[in-house]
Structure 1
Amino acid sequence: MSTPTQPNRRALLRGVSWTAPAAAVVIATPALASSPPPATAGGEYGLFVTTGQNGSQLGYNGNDNTGTIRPTSPTAYFSAVKAGNNPESDINWNDASQCRTNSSLFRNGEGSFTPVANSASGVDGSYVTPSGFWWSVPTTAAYTGSGYVAGSTATLETGATFTTEMEVLIPAGTNALYTAENIKINGQTWTKSTSGRRTTINRSSATYLAFQALAGNWSITAPTITTLSDGSVKVTGTITFTTTATRAASTVTQRGTIYYGQTEIMPATIDVYPGYGWTSFSLTSYVQSATITYTGQPAGMASSTTLTNQLLTTSTVYPQAC
């Protein structure tokens, strides 16, 4: 398997600087991250990343549910974002102090989460804990949760590619290399480059979401294991996910309350054994390339938008208790 060409961090950050903190709007002149774009015609999108631990599983798993603790309508969602209270998939995690409030279960979600819920069967106001990308149909009142154009469409074109850098830090000790050499990807010990597939998860009872995940292929490089000068161990790898779903399968059509599409961008699980100690687990994701096309868009709105090396988002967890 070939390793994808990595953009430099400056380019990634430059892409982020053209993106609002919660959702970017497709407009002719994008605004800086410190100031959301004006409420004008456009399509919204965002990237989110989650890490954490559940029992003996440290790393990544998209199945835990926060419960109904977030805004339950698009209008309330965007009001929360504007107030600085971004809805996330946090469970027993304190963002301000970067610490856990429960040693058995905690998740740290970062980035821009799908408005209202990111699960096909989820209750409005609740989130599950995957990493993913979401986008909306055109709206005449971006960032308000209203103005979505009746009958319009938004398609994530086939071949959208997302890259995630994984880093695990393990403290020095006689079992540090055991932990490093026994990380599991989808239940299989990660010793070499490997790959797999994800299937489409269609909408069931979700109020605003057309689908939760799109069919695609993921791959991960062979692990790089480095013993640092203090005896601690660092493990890194690069995960790439590329959508293979057809245009028909990846098109959101505005009907009733359906406004958003979403795709998950990771293998199903990453398991790091925490029993011998760990220092941090981190995922840094970005959109390597993606094109969203629109129909029924308002006058003056572009028919498509293309993202390249944008929306850099990092989630890191530590073993510190609050």
Structure 2
Amino acid sequence: MPDTNEPQRLADAKACMIETRVWIDDTFGPFDAKVDPTNRWNGWLSPFFTLDTVRELSARTQEMADEFGHDAIDTVHAIDGGADREGEPRAVVVHIRWSHLGSESESSTSIIQPNDEGLYGIGCWEWTWHFARWQCACGLVMYWHVTDCRNCDLTRDTQPDKTDTAHKAPTAKKPTVPDTDQPQLLADAEDPLIDAWVHIDTLGPYEAKIDRTKRWKGLVRPRFALDTVRKIAARTQEQADKNNYESVETIHVIDGGTDREGNPRAVVLHVRWVYVEDEEEAQYATLVMQPDDEGLYSIGGEEWNWYEAAPDTDNRT
């Protein structure tokens, strides 16, 4: 199922869009966007952004999360995947609601798919976006996309003095729907597990827990601690940079500070870059990996060719 909580019509670029700027409570933004003024949630706008603007917005949300705490701020992340066959930048965009991670972990993370124009709907039908405004020297205030002052001969771009609006903090967000298609059986930790070392040819070996009685095509289905997931993530990204993103799947760990018990908090993503640009498969290209009851993550559990390493394996990671 789709890894985004926005209604399907938000991904339809055939709607009547206008170019404008949007912000949240005059404090977060303004950001350049495309908006269908008729597509609203409780009166609020549902803006779409270019990837470059998403990066700008992303950096600001992460900066605010560091300043105000991840429990108070949703963060947006743009994970780069090199360039596509046309040389255009390729990326996966993620929206994380840290306040729901754990107690409502299935609704905490959304993968934002681009629409037909390559624009991303951030906070659509969820955040309190509204049109940014500009004030003419004559005193009249207008929406950003209204370029000519209706009270004098000046335009937005011919003002004698520009207003510099600073970026600050967004308002509270709403919870969303589940957005991971990871098999539920991988999130169950009721079966007895043993400590082991696993590897895939040149990937690994890594410390893991496995159930030798449960295999996928004869291969083991390991679960890893978060620290080990970080090592796997670094190695997969290193391989993708060296080889080709279309031939290497990558793992990513997005940190979110610590929870109320002081434990590290993170979201783990599995990106299959070969599917990112496929119109039919793009919605399944990125998995949000949920930890099991022991806090372990199944990485490539029923996809990758994990083998149990011999006890005397050298160069253990």
Q: Tell me if both proteins adopt one fold, taking TM over 0.5 as the criterion.
A: no
TM-score range with shorter-chain normalisation? under 0.3
Structure of higher RCO (CA pairs closer than 8 Å, 6+ residues apart)? 1
Question: Which structure's residues are more often strand, by fraction?
Answer: 1
Please identify the structure whose Cα radius of gyration is greater: 2
Under a length normalisation based on structure 2, what TM-score does the superposition of the two structures give? 0.25
Question: Which of the two has greater helix per residue?
Answer: 2
Q: So what's the TM-score if we normalise by structure 1?
A: 0.25
